[in-house]
């Protein structure tokens, strides 16, 4: 039989329940709050750390080992000695770890894509003109300036991510160290916005000058006999470029070109091939050599344009056969829409650009052989 007595409420007391509260002591049991586990990405061999001893003094060191229980083996920088310590007594040294990250970036094979070009980004016409003229580096400089801020921001974001992986908050890193890391990342930039913009640039209506037909006795188309003389002059120029003009179709086309072309032949009248094509096949900048060079372009069944750039009068015809023309620094391919060359054919005639798409082939010319021949 138990001798344990329960306290009861006195009779007549309007208090709920029949038993009264009884005081008792707290049990001699406590549950300790567990320490958080270390981040394995941070507390691993090779990390640069600051270790705090029991006196609150900090020493620089490197983690040389980690055991399964989370204990660390540290190599202290100044003493060169190894000690064991709990992971909660160390913290990552931000500046020294940043230096290690910089070295890994500089010495490593990893590259970074810092500039992304949208599918609808493309070269502007003034940049296309420079590109066709071989001024590749000038266009690259313009593009670098355009994307410079974006490039820097992306590199900075990459730097913050690398520091985070190393257990470092970039706010704790010396500003000069952070800037050095950003620069190291930018030097490993593998993006090429120039190439992407060139690829995205649609085909263009372009002209390549074959010759200038102005000459003695050919100026005024109203003079008796000048039609035949002009046709002979055009036939001579086209023949010099490899086009067979002996067929009836070629002769008829040349007659039409002269009859409907500019009335007055002066220095602003050009005999051009006009075509619609990829600008990469018409630039005089050789990507393989990184230098400007002449290139021979072959046109199958070319569209031949006789145009007065001073007033926009002109006419074009398609002539069957193959013709060759050389694009060079002295005579580069030009955009039909380039106002620096005067009137363009589309500006005058309002043509459908794609109607001038032409089968082309091209060959880079041997610069040394050309100079020797000259």
What's residue 369's pLDDT? 44
pLDDT at residue 2 tops 60: no
* pLDDT per position as a tens digit, 250-308: 999 999 999 999 999 999 999 999 999 999 999 999 999 999 999 999 999 999 999 99
Tokens of 43: 């507390």
What is the rounded CA–CA span in Å between residue 63 and residue 272? 73
Least confident of 21-30, 167-176, 272-281: 21-30
Burial of 230 (0-12, 13-18, 19+ CB in 10 A): buried
Nearest CA among 93, 62, 95, 116 for reference residue 180? 95
pLDDT at residue 181 tops 60: yes
pLDDT at residue 372 tops 90: no
What's residue 5's pLDDT? 53
Q: Where are the domains of the chain?
A: 48-92, 96-199, 203-373
- What pTM was computed for the model? 0.76
Nearest CA among 39, 34, 4 for reference residue 22? 4
What is the rounded CA–CA span in Å between residue 167 and residue 41? 7
Report how far apart, in Å, the C-alpha atoms of 118 and of each of 30, 154, 193, 201, 356 are. Answer: 62, 15, 10, 12, 28
Q: What is the mean pLDDT of residues 226-246?
A: 96
Are 344 and 336 spatial neighbours (Cβ–Cβ below 8 Å)? yes
* Residue corresponding to tokens 């409420």: 9
* Residue corresponding to tokens 């005999």: 271
Higher-pLDDT residue of 69 and 310 is 310
Nearest CA among 262, 207, 209, 252 for reference residue 231? 252
**Angle, in degrees to the nearest 10, between helices 248-260 and 226-240:** 120
Kindly report the CATH class assigned to 48-92: mainly beta
- Helix (H/G/I), strand (E/B), else coil: 244: coil
For the chain, the helix, strand and coil percentages under 3-state DSSP, each to the nearest 5: 35, 25, 45
Cβ neighbors of 71 (< 8 A, separation 6 or more) are 84, 85, 86, 87
What's residue 65's pLDDT? 87
Q: What is the mean pLDDT of residues 321-330?
A: 97
Q: What is the mean pLDDT of residues 350-366?
A: 95
Residue count of the chain, please give it. 374
Least confident of 8-12, 84-88, 122-126, 217-221: 8-12
Highest mean pLDDT pick, 159-173, 245-259, 353-367: 245-259
Q: What is the mean pLDDT of residues 133-149?
A: 95
pLDDT at residue 74 tops 60: yes
Q: What is the mean pLDDT of residues 330-359?
A: 96
* pLDDT per position as a tens digit, 31-47: 444 445 666 767 788 88
What's residue 68's pLDDT? 76
pLDDT at residue 309 tops 60: yes
* pLDDT per position as a tens digit, 84-139: 888 888 888 899 999 999 999 999 999 999 999 999 999 999 999 999 999 999 99
Tokens of 317: 């015809």
């Amino acid at each position: 039989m138990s001798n344990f007595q329960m306290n009861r409420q006195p009779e007549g007391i309007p208090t709920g329940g029949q038993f009264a509260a009884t005081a008792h002591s707290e049990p001699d049991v406590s549950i300790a709050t567990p320490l958080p586990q270390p981040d394995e990405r941070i507390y691993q061999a090779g990390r640069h750390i600051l270790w705090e001893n029991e006196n609150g003094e900090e020493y620089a060191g490197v983690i040389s080992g980690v055991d399964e229980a989370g204990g660390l083996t540290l190599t202290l920088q100044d003493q060169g000695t190894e000690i064991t310590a709990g992971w909660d007594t160390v913290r990552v040294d931000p500046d020294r770890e940043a230096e290690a990250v910089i070295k890994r970036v500089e010495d490593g094979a990893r590259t970074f894509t810092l500039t992304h070009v949208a599918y609808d980004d493309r070269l502007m016409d003034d940049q296309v003109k420079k590109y066709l003229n071989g001024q590749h580096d000038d266009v690259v400089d313009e593009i670098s300036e355009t994307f410079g801020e974006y490039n820097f921001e992306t590199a900075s974001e990459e730097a913050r991510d690398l520091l985070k992986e190393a257990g470092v908050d970039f706010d704790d890193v010396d500003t000069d160290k952070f800037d050095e890391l950003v620069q190291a990342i930018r030097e490993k930039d593998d993006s090429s916005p120039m190439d992407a913009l060139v690829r995205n640039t649609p085909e263009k209506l372009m002209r390549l000058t074959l010759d200038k037909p102005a000459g003695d006795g050919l100026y005024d188309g109203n003079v008796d006999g000048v039609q035949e003389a002009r046709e002979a002059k055009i036939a001579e120029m086209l023949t010099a470029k490899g086009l067979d003009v002996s067929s009836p179709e070629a002769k008829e086309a040349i007659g039409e070109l002269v009859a409907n072309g500019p009335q007055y032949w002066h220095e602003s009248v050009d005999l051009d091939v006009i075509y619609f094509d990829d600008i990469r096949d018409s630039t005089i900048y050789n990507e393989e050599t990184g230098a400007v060079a002449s290139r021979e372009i072959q046109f199958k069944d070319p569209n031949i344009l006789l145009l007065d750039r001073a007033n926009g009068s002109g006419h074009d015809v398609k002539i069957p056969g193959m013709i060759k023309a050389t694009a060079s620094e002295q005579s580069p391919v030009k955009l039909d829409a380039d106002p620096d060359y005067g009137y363009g054919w589309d500006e005058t005639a309002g043509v459908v650009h794609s109607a001038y798409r032409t089968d082309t082939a091209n060959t880079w010319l041997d610069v040394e052989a050309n100079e020797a021949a000259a």
